[in-house]
Amino acid sequence: MSATLAELRQALNAIEGTGFRRRPALPFGIGAIDDRLAGGGLRLNALHEVVGATPDLADDAAATLFLTGIAARAWGTVLWIVRRRDLFAPGLAQAGLATERVLYAEAADDAEVLALMEEGLRHRGLGAVIGEVKRVGLPATRRLQLAAEGGRTIALMLKRHGRSGVDPLGVPSAAVTRWRIGCAPSAPLAVAGVGRARWHAALVRQRGGESGEWLLEACDATGRCALPARLVDRPAAADGRDSRAAA
Amino acid sequence: MSALAAAVADERANECSVPNTPGWRPGARWARGCADAVEAEIARLPAHQRPPMRELGRRSEAADHPFRALRPDEARGHVPFSLKDQPPAPPRRETMRAANPAPANPPVVTSLREGAKVVVHAACPAARALGLKRGLALTAARAMVPGLIVHPADPAADAAGLRRLAVALARKWSPAVAVGGEDLIFLDLTGVSHLFGGEAAMAARIVAVLGRAGHGARIAVAGTPGAAAALVRHGAPPGEPSFAAPRPRHAGMRQARQSNLADAPDFRIRHPRDDGNPYAPRRARQQEAAAATPDRVLLCPPGEDADWLAPLPAAALRLDSADVEMLRRFGIERIGQLAELPRGPLARRFARALERLDQALGRVAEPLDPVIPRTAIACRQGFLEPIATAEGIAHWLGELVPRLTAELAAAGLGARAIELVAERVDHVPQRLRIGLARASRDPAHILRLIARRIEEVEPGYGIDAMTLHVRRAEPLGPMPFDERLDAEAAPDLAPLIDAIANRIGMARLWRVRAVESDVPERSAAPAPPLAPDAAPPSRLAADDVRRLGDADHIPAWHPEWPRPARLLKRPERLDHVVAELPDRPPARFTWRGVSHRVVRADGPERIHGEWWRRLGEAHAVRDYFRVEDEDGRRYWLYRRGDGMRSVSGDLSWWLHGLFG
């Protein structure tokens, strides 16, 4: 019934022209990336894959934070299906994902992760479902993609590197976008210390769109990434905040 | 010579307290043993029978200062001078169990605040023997009995315990059992007592059973609840000489009832109309048991209620004190006097008393409100032909679940745990248990949860019958629905949590709640997945000074201090660390065999051990650094110790978390 109501509500909005329309995609708020993405952002009713650039745990943590930022900008409760309990909620909260929004589930193996993800996607009451898997085949991802379609729950999959050294993005998948995130040296500061973290973000493959590669500044307290100041097409001094980085 | 020895022995046998040697003086060394004996004898007396200080005369040792040994809050447990050699208090349970406790038992009372003063709510037999009774001011009681043990009374728990007892009685002894007051239970014996060998035997058995369970009880059997209630409190059979005042033994018992430390109820039992008894031999044995507890059971023969009630005081009619006082002013002290008076003039002023009198004499009905033991909810479906297919099981589940939810709705309950028991032909029951995160009786939801796990049922040669049991239930009233169709309702997560929890178990599904602790491992703790989001509103007044301590606007986690995205379950030791003391970050380190050169670093953030949790952490210090190596990987390291004091740590380096 609620789905019907939502449709009716949308139709009313379109007739009245109030200008408010629920977007089917989640934009990054960064023009360079949103233009490259097919729907102007990450499609909400689709599966997206993220991989750390190397098997190193630091890159794994970077990919984790990238997912955290996306989930933080989505709506509602987030179901995070983990394989081991090493997520640190204060760190996630600093990337914009408040701890009250997260529901954690621990799965015993990859098959269970996929089953729980599908359960969460079919519930339709979640904002995002995140699963950590190691090896997953094409049929399973297609199943998840089908489960995600028709809802507003964004399906995010953190793929881990296996022992064999096979690139997790090399296996076929039905995911709409596939990202590779790696650590990059942080924004330089004028004084000693660690600046805002930066990532090498690569959109490796995208259905209906082109790939791309960017140097991103990590999520701020609201889960938003940014481009480093000198890449933005305006004088760095006008921003003021990143004047040191531009100097 | 032997005659002399005999004389000496004779002399020693009846030795006088004062030896016949010259130089007698009070307090001499030889007199002390004798004094000890006298003191022991005095200590053996109850407190109120001890001779006062002035009769004891001067004592050789100084008494304790009466206030020095008191605890600052109250004087419980310590006695200034006299009761030091009392044995320590036995556990409370034992005190309650003792029907006739030895005088060595220390007196125990419970206290209750009534208005501005604290009074004795109940007293144990030992305390009653010392003259403590209900309603006495606690300060007076403490003055009367030094060393009095006082526990706070809990009337609500007493009432709940009495109700539990009534339910237990209703399961075993009689179908109609009602709670009649704070220490009173009615049992309707109509058509019941012959099953237990007659009224006397049944009453004796109940007293014995309750005695084994630790409750002291009195029982009176009469024709009406009112008469039974009057007799059990004030009753004695007619012909006894002392009706004017209840005999001391009954007075003591009455106090025993009033004193119910936990629950020592009395039982009024309505007289049965049926006295048939097919168990004559057993009855004889049980009458012996009844004879063993003669003053706890009172049997009023049928038709003699009025005679037995007549000499009892008017208060026995369960009147409130104002009515009793009014009757007393009119010179009516006994029930018999009230019954003899013409009713017309009385009716206006004493309507309540007359109603109670009529109830006690059986002229007016007094309905009981029986407790109803809760019965387990289950739905069973037997099959003519055994079923063995998943489709068959699913079909019959579709029949059973709505029946179960209808029963739940009738009982006003929602299920939290449901078990499906499939009885196989070979008598190997197949059990399937599902849990629900929130009480629910939605048939579609429950059916979905069970149907998903049908394949776990092994039908074998076939299933004869299926039963759905409600294993745990909670009260669930009608649920409001959102009447505004244009508002977006918050999605209900309970079905999802049920589905996940029934797949992986509730222990592997959690939320995280913030804990106020700077130690990273302790700063986040798991919470139940359906935890209420908002804290209950504070009941403090708006201007209460304790509101200053409310820290709800201060987050438990500092938003600015860097925290990693992933925290290692246990910190990992780093090797080959090059760092300057006392507070410089490492220049290079080796973790898991890989050497890292640190380019940038932040820190230290010093975190002290929490000595209030573990004494070993009293001096422990961790200095945390956020470091970045030349590839841009960011780690969270710490060093044990502050670099100044060796007690704070051994200066070893550890990796604890990873920033993205």
Cβ of A56 under 8 Å from any chain B Cβ? yes
- Name the most confidently modeled range: B261-265, B333-337, B396-400: B396-400
Q: Give the residue with greater pLDDT, B76 vs B330.
A: B330
Cβ of A112 under 8 Å from any chain B Cβ? yes
In this prediction, residue B452 carries a pLDDT of 86
For residue B482, pLDDT beyond 50? yes
For residue B592, pLDDT beyond 50? yes
Determine contact, residues B589/B577, Cβ cutoff 8 Å. Answer: yes
Per the CB < 8 Å rule, is A116 touching B503? yes
State pTM to two decimals.
Answer: 0.63
Task: Identify all chain A residues contacting B488, using CB atoms and an 8 Å cutoff.
Answer: 6
Q: Which of B631, B635, B637 to mutate to test the interface with A (most CBs of A within 10 A)?
A: B631
CA dist A145 and B256 (Å) reads 74
Q: Which of B584, B655, B658 to mutate to test the interface with A (most CBs of A within 10 A)?
A: B658
Closest residue in A to B660 (Cα) is: A62
Phi-psi region of B362 (alpha: psi -120 to 50; beta: other; left: phi over 0): left
Task: Identify all chain A residues contacting B626, using CB atoms and an 8 Å cutoff.
Answer: 194
- Which of A104, A183, A193 is opposite residue B602, by nearest beta carbon? A193
DSSP string, B576-614: EEEE-TTTPPEEEEEETTEEEEEEEEEEEEEEE--TTT-
Domain chopping of chain B, boundaries: 25-63, 104-153, 156-308, 378-475, 511-553, 566-659
At B550, the pLDDT band (50, 70, 90 cuts) reads low
Per the CB < 8 Å rule, is B564 touching A61? yes
For residue B225, pLDDT beyond 60? yes
B104-153 has CATH 3.40.1170.60 classification: yes
Task: Identify all chain A residues contacting B523, using CB atoms and an 8 Å cutoff.
Answer: 90
Task: Identify all chain B residues contacting A124, using CB atoms and an 8 Å cutoff.
Answer: 491
State the greatest distance between any 2 C-alpha atoms of chain A, in Å, as a whole number.
58
User: What residues does B179 pair with on adjacent strands?
Assistant: B185
What mean pLDDT value characterizes chain B?
A: 78
DSSP string, B425-489: TTS--EEEEEEEEEEE--HHHHHHHHHTTGGG---TT-EEEEEEEEEEEEE--PPP----TTSPP
At B405, the pLDDT band (50, 70, 90 cuts) reads very high
At B539, the pLDDT band (50, 70, 90 cuts) reads low
C-alpha distances (whole Å) from B525 to each of A76, B22, B331, B567, B658 are: 22, 83, 71, 13, 19
In this prediction, residue B238 carries a pLDDT of 53
CA dist A215 and B142 (Å) reads 80
Quote the minimal CA–CA distance from A192 to chain B in Å: 7
Per the CB < 8 Å rule, is B511 touching A57? no
User: What residues does B586 pair with on adjacent strands?
Assistant: B579
For residue B293, pLDDT beyond 60? no
Identify the CATH homologous superfamily for domain B378-475. Answer: DNA polymerase, Y-family, little finger domain (3.30.1490.100)
Cβ of B347 under 8 Å from any chain A Cβ? no
In this prediction, residue B21 carries a pLDDT of 53
In this prediction, residue A57 carries a pLDDT of 92
Q: Which of B445, B496, B510, B583 to mutate to test the interface with A (most CBs of A within 10 A)?
A: B496
Looking from the CA of A206 toward its CB, the CA atoms found within 13 Å total 21
Angle between helix axes B225-234 and B248-258 (nearest 10 degrees) is: 110
Q: Which of A52, A97, A66 is nearest to A79 (CA)?
A: A97
In this prediction, residue B598 carries a pLDDT of 94
User: What residues does B463 pair with on adjacent strands?
Assistant: B387, B424
Determine contact, residues B450/B436, Cβ cutoff 8 Å. Answer: no
In this prediction, residue B56 carries a pLDDT of 58
In this prediction, residue B523 carries a pLDDT of 92
Burial of residue B226 (number of CB atoms within 10 Å: 0-12, 13-18, 19+): buried
Please list the helix, strand and coil fractions of chain A in percent, rounded to the nearest 5, in that order. 35, 25, 40
Write down the residue that tokens 């999959």 correspond to: A157
In this prediction, residue B107 carries a pLDDT of 86
Quote the minimal CA–CA distance from B583 to chain A in Å: 14
Determine contact, residues B140/B134, Cβ cutoff 8 Å. Answer: no
- Which of B492, B563, B567 is opposite residue A125, by nearest beta carbon? B492
Write down the residue that tokens 């009112």 correspond to: B226
Here the ipTM equals 0.86
Quote the minimal CA–CA distance from A37 to chain B in Å: 24
Looking from the CA of B185 toward its CB, the CA atoms found within 13 Å total 30
CA dist B638 and B648 (Å) reads 13
Task: Identify all chain A residues contacting B658, using CB atoms and an 8 Å cutoff.
Answer: 57-58, 60-61
Cβ of A57 under 8 Å from any chain B Cβ? yes
| pLDDT digit string, tens, across residues B3-31 | 777 776 666 665 555 555 555 555 555 55
What residue ranges of chain A have pLDDT lower than 50?
235-247
Cβ of B517 under 8 Å from any chain A Cβ? no
- Which of A6, A56, A92 is opposite residue B565, by nearest beta carbon? A92
User: Tokens representing B170?
Assistant: 């209703």
Which of A39-53, B169-183, B408-422, B469-483 has the lowest average pLDDT? B469-483
- Which of A57, A108, A186 is opposite residue B628, by nearest beta carbon? A186
Cβ of B499 under 8 Å from any chain A Cβ? yes
B80 Cβ contact list (under 8 Å, min separation 6) = B63, B64, B65, B66, B69, B146
List, in order of start, the domains of chain A with CATH numbers: 24-185+198-213 (3.40.50.300)
CA dist B557 and B518 (Å) reads 8
Quote the minimal CA–CA distance from A187 to chain B in Å: 10
Looking at residue A62, its amino acid is A
In this prediction, residue B24 carries a pLDDT of 52
C-alpha distances (whole Å) from B317 to each of A105, B272, B320, B333 are: 64, 21, 9, 11
Per the CB < 8 Å rule, is B567 touching A88? yes
Q: Which of B651, B473, B469, B456 is nearest to B573 (CA)?
A: B651
Determine contact, residues B391/B251, Cβ cutoff 8 Å. Answer: no
Cβ of B632 under 8 Å from any chain A Cβ? yes
For residue B66, pLDDT beyond 90? no
In this prediction, residue B486 carries a pLDDT of 56
Looking at residue B237, its amino acid is P
In this prediction, residue B246 carries a pLDDT of 31
- Which of B503, B563, B600 is opposite residue A115, by nearest beta carbon? B503
For residue B256, pLDDT beyond 60? no
Distance from chain centroid for Cα B28: 56
Interface contacts (A, B; CB < 8 Å): 169
In this prediction, residue B446 carries a pLDDT of 92
For residue B403, pLDDT beyond 90? yes
Chain A, 14-53: which have a CB under 8 Å from a chain B CB?
A: none
- Which of A5, A125, A183 is opposite residue B633, by nearest beta carbon? A183
**What mean pLDDT comes out for the span B588-612?**
92
Q: Give the residue with greater pLDDT, B21 vs B117.
A: B117
| pLDDT digit string, tens, across residues B194-213 | 898 888 899 889 989 988 88
Cβ of B566 under 8 Å from any chain A Cβ? yes
In this prediction, residue B191 carries a pLDDT of 87
